[in-house]
Amino acid sequence: MKQHIWERLNRRSMKGRVTGRRLRRAAGFAVGLVLAVVVMVNLPFEKAAPAYAISVKAGEDGPVFKLADREGKRDEHVTTVSYVDSRPGLEFYIEGGNIASIHIKAKNEYVYAVDWTKTQHEKYWNVEYYQHFDEETRTAVADFNLLYDKEMTMTFDEDFREYDQIWYRWTAWNMYEWAAEDNFSRFYGFGYDPIDIDVDSLTEEEKRELAAENGSSIGHMNLEDYPDHLKEDTITITITDRQGHVTTKAIQVRVDNNRLGQTVVTARLKNVS
């Protein structure tokens, strides 16, 4: 299904996740977070185990969080991260060596990639594969069915080393399409009036957000009527090395509204194998 990229939202000064050619260049990409997950592979004969660092970033200058897949010091690892994102999404990259393939699968939503190495499928590094400029409307038009997938597999040549130059992205596209029905009827500021906030009931952190003008619900999705089980998703990451050893980890994601009406993404590491 072809669709103008958030064009009606952009006309109302709302931030879209994809505009023009920024997909290829933007480092921040409206995501909010960076998780770092260290994945250890158990090898036979007690040999040293290779480590894959799965990093996810929150904002261009945001902190790096580490989701521990084993017990670690509290000041070094956290198991859950949470951030506000009006277009709920998650971005991560994988560091390591001797990797033959990486398979990523979303249970409910969609995944895609941005490939700075230009070694994988063209749709991951050439925005013109799924997007064109409409001269009549003067807008960028994209067919996201050509980009988003339920699962994807990356394979690597033996001399490949730039694993961290491929960025993997999870996007709540089903949720967005639901909220955008009937002229964005489930967005605050469009189908819903912005939330009336009782300042006295807010926490100090919420009050600081309001004071910094970061607490508005305008442009966020009202998820009150969205099926609860679809607010959750599991991203399964399977890494296979060149000797055939397989490591499987998962990131569990949930999207909810906070008391300010904003959409909040919460992600945590989930052990698989």
88-97, 152-161, 182-191: which is most confident: 152-161
User: How far is 20 from 239, CA to CA, in rounded Å?
Assistant: 32
Q: State phi, psi for 32 to the nearest 5 degrees.
A: -175, 0
Residue 198: the pLDDT is 60
Which tens digits make up the pLDDT trace of 36-69?
555 444 444 444 455 666 676 554 555 455 544 4
- The two tokens of residue 218 are 């305008």
Q: For 60-69, 111-120, 185-194, 252-261, which range has the lowest pLDDT when averaged over its residues?
A: 60-69
Say which residues have a Cβ less than 8 Å from residue 66's Cβ, sequence separation at least 6: 35, 36, 37, 38, 72, 76, 77, 78
Residue 29: the pLDDT is 33
Q: For 11-25, 116-130, 185-199, 203-217, which range has the lowest pLDDT when averaged over its residues?
A: 11-25
- The two tokens of residue 133 are 């400029």
Say which residues have a Cβ less than 8 Å from residue 58's Cβ, sequence separation at least 6: 31, 32, 33, 34, 65, 81, 83
User: How far is 204 from 17, CA to CA, in rounded Å?
Assistant: 30
Average pLDDT of the segment spanning 196-205: 62
Higher confidence at residue 137 or residue 272? 137
Range of the domain at 213: 2-271
Q: Write down the residue that tokens 């694993």 correspond to.
A: 163
Higher confidence at residue 152 or residue 86? 152
Q: Does residue 221 have a pLDDT over 80?
A: yes
Residue 197: the pLDDT is 54
Q: For 40-49, 72-81, 130-139, 185-194, which range has the lowest pLDDT when averaged over its residues?
A: 40-49
Average pLDDT of the segment spanning 145-154: 96
Q: For 141-145, 173-177, 215-219, which range has the lowest pLDDT when averaged over its residues?
A: 215-219
Residue 149: the pLDDT is 97
Alpha-helical regions (H) of the chain: 7-10, 22-25, 173-184, 204-211
Average pLDDT of the segment spanning 216-242: 93
Average pLDDT of the segment spanning 148-171: 94
What pairs with residue 80 in β-bridges? 268
pTM of model > 0.75: no
Residue 15: the pLDDT is 33
| Contacts of range 11-18, beta carbons closer than 8 Å, 24 or more positions apart | 12/189, 12/190, 12/219, 14/86, 14/218, 14/219, 15/86, 15/87, 15/219, 16/87, 17/87, 17/89, 17/171, 18/142
Q: 64, 54 in Cβ contact below 8 A? A: no
Give the count of domains, the chain.
1
Q: Return the amino acid letter for 190.
A: F
Dihedral angle at the C-alpha atoms of 206, 226, 20, 163, nearest 10 degrees?
A: 80
Taking alpha carbons only, the member of 106, 121, 115 closest to residue 230 is 106
Q: State how far the alpha carbon of 206 is from the alpha carbons of 119, 200, 201, 210, 221, in Å.
A: 44, 11, 10, 6, 19
Element (H, E) at 255: strand 246-257
Residue 14: the pLDDT is 34
